[in-house]
């Protein structure tokens, strides 16, 4: 029997299909696709306003397409077409969103690009006459996934080597530690704060080593799983998309013996549900969990009146993550421990071009130091500051700019756009590139600002017409608000 014999919907013992008699062969990509689908869902619900139409029909259409394709991929994890469709639609949505500040959305886009590129190469190699070899696709994209994790952890350490991340009064590590420690009355404990700071470096360093030390990969792997499971529960920020992304990349990165065991567990769990309910049974636990999470949050809203819409959405998905992420963490931890020490299985050497994608991504993450973008460079929650020719990084006395964008720092005095004035009054400065983009998007707007001691009065898109950024600059460069106060408080 083939997997296609599984009915979509089936209830009761009389209609129970012979699911367990189906012949399955190991497929590393099938072990990965459910995790990738869940990561896509956690990412898309983090931008709930796209789903409910606030950002326009294009955003709404693409966002719901991502949800639909993710559900189809959960139902049909062996369908390469659904995976590639999800990848393509996600890339279209990312392109529509550009410039994107989110680091995890950028990592996801890079991974999606690698999957699509690898699939295209394999399709062309087959002359377009045969289906894409899933194991060949798996072998290639797992190299990219492991490299992306290594790059993420490397810059997770490198960007944090600055005076403010090491300061327990403002460190972003402490910002995460405080809500977790508050129930125990330890939020102001100095030892706990320093422990949070230095544990970040230690965990990420161990994770890098373990990625390429296959025999004892489980040591760093389990540490990373626990770390990424816990951080969304802190509610400090919307971490579910980031953590689910990391889980999915790890599923691709683990040694093949562990991947085979995860595959076996996943198939057994899915078949148990399919026997009773048909193929749709794989979605029933998730649907039940969503109903339960919404009910719990609604009941809590009666006790804590007037919650904001964003707070309600965030609370629902934290509850969902606590279960989904917990199950994923336990399952992955189990297969890791079962393969400790892991036998070293040699894999075929991937083509050289596979390394180009993560190589370019690695270079792009140097952007803050060379004067380019200060967002989407894996510098999230790092306290890093590189603007205005100054930096708090301990390895540089001043940033080695190759480009001038970060030198053009302005202080807004007045503007037709109230939010710009409010940001300025809060002590923030702006990179001129961002002001130019705002004026281009809204030609009737004006801004009065001070740059290098000179006041520019009522600048508009017309008066700055000769200085407006081009298409690539607008799409690829994005800068944070500039905060010159010291110590630099953690923002994001």
Q: Per residue in 204-261, pLDDT tens?
A: 999 999 998 888 888 889 999 999 999 898 877 788 999 999 999 999 999 888 999 9
pLDDT band, very low/low/confident/very high, at 356 (cuts 50, 70, 90): very high
Are 260 and 153 within 8 A, CB to CB? no
- The alpha carbon of residue 474 and the mean position of all alpha carbons in its chain are separated, in whole angstroms, by 22
pLDDT above 50 for 304: yes
Which two structure tokens, joined as six digits, stand for 481?
A: 């608000």
- The alpha carbon of residue 435 and the mean position of all alpha carbons in its chain are separated, in whole angstroms, by 27
Please provide the DSSP assignment of 383-401 as one string: ----GGG---BTT-SS---
The more confident residue out of 155 and 237 is: 155
Average pLDDT, the chain: 91
pLDDT band, very low/low/confident/very high, at 11 (cuts 50, 70, 90): low
CA-based Rg of the chain, rounded to a whole angstrom? 24
Q: Per residue in 440-454, pLDDT tens?
A: 999 999 999 999 999
Q: CA of 384: how far to CAs of 19, 162, 239, 378, in Å?
A: 53, 7, 19, 11
pLDDT above 70 for 345: no
pTM for the predicted model, two decimal places: 0.91
Q: Per residue in 19-78, pLDDT tens?
A: 554 456 788 899 999 999 999 999 999 999 999 999 999 999 999 999 999 999 999 999
DSSP-derived 3-state class of residue 120: helix
Please report, for the chain, the start and end positions of each structural domain, with discontinuous segments joined by +: 3-360, 389-476
């Amino acid at each position: 029997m083939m997997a296609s014999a599984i009915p979509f919907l089936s209830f009761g013992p009389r209609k129970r299909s012979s699911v367990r008699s189906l012949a399955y062969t190991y497929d590393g990509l099938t072990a990965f696709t459910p995790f990738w689908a869940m990561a896509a869902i956690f990412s898309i619900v983090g931008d709930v306003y796209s789903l409910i139409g606030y950002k326009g029909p294009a955003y709404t259409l693409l966002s719901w397409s991502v949800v639909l394709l993710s559900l189809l991929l959960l139902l049909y994890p062996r369908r390469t077409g659904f995976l590639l469709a999800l990848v393509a639609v996600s890339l279209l949505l990312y392109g529509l969103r550009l410039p994107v500040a989110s680091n995890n959305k950028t990592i996801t886009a890079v991974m999606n690009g690698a999957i699509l590129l690898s699939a295209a190469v394999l399709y062309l190699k087959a002359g377009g006459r045969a289906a894409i070899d899933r194991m060949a696709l798996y072998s290639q994209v797992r190299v990219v996934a492991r490299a992306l994790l290594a790059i993420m952890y490397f810059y997770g350490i490198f960007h944090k080597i600055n005076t403010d991340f090491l300061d327990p009064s403002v460190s972003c590590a402490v910002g995460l530690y405080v809500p977790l420690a508050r129930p125990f009355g330890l939020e102001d404990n100095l030892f706990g704060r320093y422990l949070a700071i230095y544990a970040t470096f230690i965990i990420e360093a161990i994770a890098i080593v373990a990625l390429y030390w296959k025999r004892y990969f489980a040591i760093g792997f389990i540490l990373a799983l626990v770390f990424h499971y816990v951080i969304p529960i802190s509610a400090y920020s919307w971490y579910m998309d980031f953590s689910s992304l990391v889980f999915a990349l790890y599923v691709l990165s683990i040694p093949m013996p562990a991947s085979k065991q995860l595959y076996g567990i996943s198939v057994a769990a899915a078949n148990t549900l399919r026997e009773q309910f048909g193929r749709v049974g794989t979605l029933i636990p998730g649907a039940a969990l969503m109903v339960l999470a919404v009910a719990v949050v609604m009941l809590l809203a009666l006790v804590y009146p007037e919650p904001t819409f964003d707070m309600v959405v965030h609370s629902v998905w934290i509850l969902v993550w606590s279960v989904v992420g917990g199950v994923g963490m336990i399952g992955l931890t189990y297969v890791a421990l079962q393969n400790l020490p892991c036998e070293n299985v040699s894999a075929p050497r991937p083509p050289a071009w596979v390394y180009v994608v993560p190589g370019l991504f690695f270079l792009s993450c140097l952007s803050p130091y060379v004067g380019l973008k200060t967002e989407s460079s894996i510098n999230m929650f790092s306290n890093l500051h590189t603007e205005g020719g100054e930096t708090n990084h301990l390895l540089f006395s001043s940033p080695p700019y190759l480009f001038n964008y970060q030198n053009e720092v302005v202080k807004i005095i007045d503007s037709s756009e109230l939010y710009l004035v409010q940001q300025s009054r809060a002590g923030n400065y702006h990179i001129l590139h961002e002001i130019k983009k705002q004026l281009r998007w809204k030609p009737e707007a004006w801004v009065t600002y001070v740059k290098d001691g000179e006041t520019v009065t009522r600048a508009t898109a017309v008066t700055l017409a000769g200085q407006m950024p081009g298409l690539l600059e607008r799409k690829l460069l994005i800068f944070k608000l500039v905060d010159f106060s010291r110590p630099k408080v953690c923002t994001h």
